[in-house]
Amino acid sequence: MAEIGKDIIKAKAILDAGELVGIPTETVYGLAGNALQADAVAKIFETKNRPSFDPLILHTSSLDKVYDFVLDVPEVLRELADAFWPGPLTLLLPRKSNVPDLVTSGLETVAVRIPSHPLTRSLLTSLDYPLAAPSANPFGYISPTQASHVNDQLGKKIQYILDGGLCEVGLESTIVGLEEGEVTVFRLGGLDLALIEHIVGPVQVMSHSSSNPKAPGLLKSHYAPSKPFILGDIEELVERYQQKGLDFAIMTFQQDLSHIAERNKIILSPRGDMKEAAKNLFSAMRILDSMDVSVILAELLPEEGLGKAINDRLRRAAVQE
Ligand code: TXA
Ligand code: MG
């Protein structure tokens, strides 16, 4: 398995050698490699089993450095960068030719983010190249929100995981770009849409179709546990599955179904706090997936604030059924 620790110098040495390191961010853990070295980028795709048509996000430590690999930051996106970087925001920007084609899957834009996690910021500050880092999970599975999640699934394939504790946000970054001049959200995420609209006014949200070639992260089945994950009215679902005599576990937003045994349920936020629910979501899904039951029953959150991004993940986790 991988070594887990807080040694930035060690992480830098591995990255400098063209190898990969698991890194913490405030959103989810990333599987990082030198973004400007095509061999290191190829290792990321191979390690994650990720199709090469799905482009990666570049992570760096300052806006100055962003200009090393993008041609320009359009004014309206610059306002978002000023407001939310470092933080859970990814911008799609016109790329320079030093960014390998493999990073962008041949697109003319490159996805860029300045993460806020202190350990990873220090690491990025010490590097003279950006890090390409997708979420550190096998393609299509639930994103990792703690070092042990990364180790469980990719520990045999990488040497080192930088341990930054639990991810504060727990949902991947919100991806924003321009589409025919309009500010467009390509993936809902850890930065609430309302905060974005507060800065730049109403934005369009890319619909979640499985055939959108511009953002394969919008593939319908994604973030999925390996067990059937069923969404609906939780009380109705429980009744139906009890009648069927099937063993199940449940995940609710805040309600406690007192007739369900503690060991078979997870409440994301008993006090009904969306941020807390987002932070707990992916680890809850992993725990449920490892329980000795045959299905997972869950409910959507109110469609407001971060609830929109959480529901997006829940719907795509559920598509397989
Ligand atoms: O919070 C995050 O964004 C995490 C942490 C590690 O930073 N990273 C992450 O990366 O979620 P990944 O690879 O799992 O998701 C990146 C998404 C993909 O859905 C990809 O399709 C989209 O970003 N993407 C990357 N470049 C793009 C581009 N040029 N145009 C449209 N979508 C792009
Ligand atoms: Mg991912």
Q: Ligand 1: which of 172, 210, 219 to mutate, most ligand atoms within 8 Å of CB?
A: 172
Q: How far apart are CA 151 and CA 166, in angstroms?
A: 14
Q: What is the pLDDT of residue 271?
A: 98
DSSP state, residue 261: -
Q: What is the pLDDT of residue 219?
A: 52
Atom nearest to 90 CA in ligand 1: 3
Q: Is the dihedral of CA 102, 78, 190, 149 positive or negative?
A: positive
The structure tokens 């546990």 sit at 225
Half-sphere exposure (CA, 13 Å, Cβ side) for 32? Answer: 28
CA 217 to centroid of ligand 2, rounded, Å:
7
Q: What is the pLDDT of residue 63?
A: 97
Q: What is the pLDDT of residue 225?
A: 87
What residue's CA is closest to ligand 1, atom 32?
215
How many of the other CB atoms lie within 10 Å of CB of 300?
A: 16
pLDDT of 135 over the 90 cut: yes
What residue's CA is closest to ligand 1, atom 17?
217
Residue 268 and residue 276 in contact, taking contact as beta carbons nearer than 8 Å: yes
Q: Ligand 1: which of 175, 221, 312 to mutate, most ligand atoms within 8 Å of CB?
A: 175
Give the closest residue to 41 by CA, choosing from 65, 58, 61, 24.
58
Q: What is the pLDDT of residue 208?
A: 60
Q: What is the pLDDT of residue 105?
A: 94
pLDDT of 26 over the 80 cut: yes
From the CA of 59, which ligand is nearest?
Answer: 1
Q: What is the pLDDT of residues 191-231, one digit of tens each?
A: 999 999 999 999 999 976 443 445 545 555 566 788 999 99
The structure tokens 């099937």 sit at 246
| Average pLDDT of span 47-74 | 96
pLDDT, averaged across the chain: 94
| Average pLDDT of span 8-19 | 98
